[in-house]
Structure 1
């Protein structure tokens, strides 16, 4: 007879990950495109880790992102009409996992760490850069909601190395 240990187990892999053999070819292709990991936040506060994002220069500049339309972030951003986008660094891995729902968040997503309150939502106080955006539109796009924002303000500091999402894992530039 096997004895069972009380409590949960910590997995070395993502127990919710779709096995490689069951992924669509499109998902497998998407996994081969490295993407910067960003944190999207909105007044409320609410937030979501997003790696499917693009910044388009222009007058005005725009940000596009694929987000989960059932997320608390979408509820807060659509109600407020604005949101913030913060590129994350390798030091932000736990923060990224917390806002992706992969790491425990006792007390809530914003309970730990230092946050700067902005009119667009809270941003990590030590963020090297962030953009404040006005929600300009959204539409269904594949598995997600394509969200478009007009960039109204940008704050940049010293450039740091980005946190990268590649083939289902975090990595960083060599």
Structure 2
């Protein structure tokens, strides 16, 4: 058996989508978007988002068009956007649908219900947002949504969960 340092099934660089390769090199802190309550709550790991300053501030996200989160966000009009830390990487994979989560991904954490949706209790940095319903539009393979920040809490983060080039990474000092 040979152990490879690279993924054995990845196509060569020349065969990969150059736009995805560009996006993968930007990197950023992974967020978890959650909406709903009780058995109606849903969530999605999102790394394609932007925070815009202003009064009010906005968070613009690119969401998968078939994601349950998009449907619930449009129903409730609100969501929680939490910034994840390195210790949340298994949870991030579960909400991204790439890691099994028997009983659902909400069983993997402790949650507090807020007026905007469920919040991961140990996530110190989060925002409660309201959907700008007029902003929804198809962008590439995603749906662009614009939300207005109604509440924000910011905490010190020693180990943010960074996603770059298709992998989680610890940030360097």
Fold equivalence (TM over 0.5): yes
Root-mean-square deviation (CA, aligned residues, Å) is 2.0
CA contact (8 A) 1:128 1:160 kept: no
| Residue 24 (structure 2) pairs with residue 31 (structure 1) | yes
Number of residue pairs matched? 163
Separation in 2 of the partners of 1:105 and 1:19?
32
1:55-84 deviation per Cα after TM superposition (whole angstroms, max 9, x unaligned):
111011000111101001111111001111
In the TM superposition, residue 33 of structure 1 has moved relative to its aligned partner by: 0.9
In the TM superposition, residue 109 of structure 1 has moved relative to its aligned partner by: 1.8
Q: How does 1:114-153 map to 2 (within 5 A)?
A: 114-136=110-132, 137-153=135-151
Give the aligned partner of residue 42 of structure 1.
35
Give the aligned partner of residue 161 of structure 2.
163
In the TM superposition, residue 31 of structure 1 has moved relative to its aligned partner by: 1.2
| Residue 79 (structure 2) pairs with residue 53 (structure 1) | no
Separation in 1 of the partners of 2:162 and 2:28?
5
C-alpha change, 1:60 and 1:16, in structure 2 (3 Å) is farther
Normalized per residue, the structure richer in helix is 2
Give the aligned partner of residue 97 of structure 2.
101
Give the aligned partner of residue 5 of structure 1.
none
In the TM superposition, residue 20 of structure 1 has moved relative to its aligned partner by: 4.0
Give the aligned partner of residue 8 of structure 1.
none
CA contact (8 A) 2:91 2:108 kept: no
Q: Which consecutive residues of structure 2, in runs of 5 or more, have no partner in the other structure? A: none
Q: Which consecutive residues of structure 1, in runs of 5 or more, have no partner in the other structure? A: 1-11
TM-score of the pair, normalised by structure 2: 0.87
CA contact (8 A) 1:161 1:172 kept: yes
C-alpha change, 1:59 and 1:24, in structure 2 (3 Å) is same
TM-score of the pair, normalised by structure 1: 0.86
Separation in 2 of the partners of 1:52 and 1:117?
25
C-alpha change, 1:13 and 1:37, in structure 2 (3 Å) is farther
C-alpha change, 1:107 and 1:13, in structure 2 (3 Å) is farther
